[in-house]
Structure 1
Amino acid sequence: MIERRAAPDRVPIPRLVYLWATAAIVLLAGFLLLEAPPVTAAFGAVAELLALCAAAILRAVGYPIVLSGIELRDSVSGHAIAVTQACDGSSLVIAAIAVSLWLWKGGRHDLLLLAATALIAIFSFNLLRVVLLFVSIGAPGLMDLQHLYVAPLLSAVLVAGLVLVGLGLPLRDAVRSPILWLAVAAVAAIAWYPVAEMLTCATVVPIANTLLWIAPGELEQAIVCGAGNATVSTAAVVGYEPLRVLDAGFYPSDFTLALPLVVASLAVVGKPGPVIRGALLAVALMAVAMALGAMTASQDAAIGASVTTLMGRGFSAPFAPMGEMLLALLKAAQNALVHFNLFVLPLALLYRKPAPLPTRAQPPVRSPNRGRRR
């Protein structure tokens, strides 16, 4: 009997499914854990420490800073920023754990040293991010570009680099043609940013709207892209006035942020079959994340507006908010999927041959002693 083996640059499907599921479960569990009061308090203390360090740096370079908790304020201009959950490093820590499990080869590592090094690097990155955000506060366009686009993409590269170095993986074993990958990612990011909202509305939004149409519930109906910010169209009614569109602060391009990194990975792979499958998978995952985002944003907006009634074409029904636990689970799933797309998916599309699971060494098989032949 001949044993069929996988191609040398492929991963057996069960192993691939295991890796993807493990990374997704770690991300989901991590974002659920962030809502636990002790963890929230711990990262709140980290945010205050980052704000304190940033204030010291800014004062040293001449800015008249007034520090209040996590808020940094210029006492002359009045401009201020706050070190929120987006800048406290919590999401990067969770992403680093998920990527580590994806790339882990087994073997012995000084996990305490690796964890300490990763935490220092992540918090240093976020400290630099806070300082640069404050410096660019007078230029809203530059600030938005840095905060919403450049920093998240660089954080994905940072996490991948930390994990590869920490686990002792040669760069070329994990990323084929790393220089080419970085070059394509940089070019794709520059080209994508000016048209991100328009192309996202033309491609991913219709798929997300199809998912919303299939999903149970009557609250959220469609993501509507207009001249200004996109909104989520709902069946909510407030008082005697139908409120068809709730301004939920919804930005479709937030869910396609990983596209330049995905494009770089697919460009390095180069083979038509994997490229097509990878592109379809990436678009599908981004659409699912966007649909979840529309659902959670609609729930938050409806609860905040004290909505009691839903009205649509041919139906009228009372509005019953989602339970707190279910809403928290959906928000965690949304965050997990967005971070999976940004931190895990580019490597998953590129790194086709993860190491096998560690196994215990088997003793050599010896033939039985049949005695001397007579």
Structure 2
Amino acid sequence: MDHTATHNSPRTWFLTSSLSPLCIRLIRLLLAHGDYVVACLPPQEIEHDDRSAEFRELINECKSSRKDREGWKDRIRGIRCDGRVMGQCGAAVAEAVQVFGRIDILLCCKFEAVVGTVEELSATPATRNLVRDQFETLFFSQVNFIKAALPQFRAQHTGHIIILTSIGGHIGTPGMSIYTAATWALEGFCDSLAYEIAPFNIKVTIVQPNKEIQSLTNKIIFAPQLPFYDSEINPAPSIRDMLTNVLNANPDTALDPPRFPHPPAPSSSSASASVASDDGHHPPPAPSPEEIQYRYPRLPAASLDRLVTETVHALTAIGGHENPPARHIVGFEGSIAVKEKLRTVTEELEDFVEASLAVDIFESELKAEAREGRAAMEAALGGGSGSGM
């Protein structure tokens, strides 16, 4: 008997993180469709009122007596689970199967963004820890959930793993190097995984909305800024400025302004100490003493709806489909940005091929000359030995 759920049949979704506005809107749509939802709740976030308030409202809505919400409370299961702990991931998967009998779709949707240049993230032990934490959040925690779910998918001989990343999986962003690295790592992992599990009828899809969708609906972590990277003197595009402007529009989420240290004015007694070094350069000022800042953006509900609607509908259309795409870029702007990136890469490869071809021709000419030289030498040696016989 084939137990594979069709695309229109009720499906059981397992969300690795469920507190973002995008995930809450997705859950609401899934429950309205008649699907079942396992909502993993990171313990470090569920206690945070800014993060969990909307999810609590959803749960109250599920328990209400509204006619259009009938049965919702029986089709959703919240599970506290820290994805960084493999044992908790395995326990969450086991609980989901015990409650609903199966898992059809594993949606890896944990996200947070570390903002800071490479140098800013290298300035102090605290900022260097942000690099490790970003990989723990975006890569290792999601890999843990995938590893925990694979035995169940194999036993069912069906399953769909969806990875919600962003177009940061294709395009690097100044000021988000560690986020980009962790995203690329997860996508590369899943590209390889897809080949391994295809014989078990387990499918993998990477979904990439714009970076702004993920950044503006999840926690943002700002490393202290160094003066060299202030947008007034550094022409590189600044994601920090864009996100700061959004956060500063709400007094409750406004960021503290950067406090760049100023070296003391030299006195006559210390004038010699302030003289430039032999190469004519003064040593750079010390890193800013300000602390790492953490924020959850607060956008109006209508703005959130517009921001995430297209991604939510893309996920519901793809999830559990019999023949889902291996990769889906959400939105026209994101598709154009990736196309431009790929076009640039293609042009660079064509230039490289031409250069390589020239080198290959040169090498082949050298090899031909070498072969001719060896043949002439062998002929001469052969002729000499023949004349002496």
TM-score by length of 1: 0.29
TM-score by length of 2: 0.28
Name the structure, 1 or 2, with higher relative contact order (CA <8 Å, separation 6+). Answer: 1
Larger radius of gyration: 2
Greater percentage in helix: 1
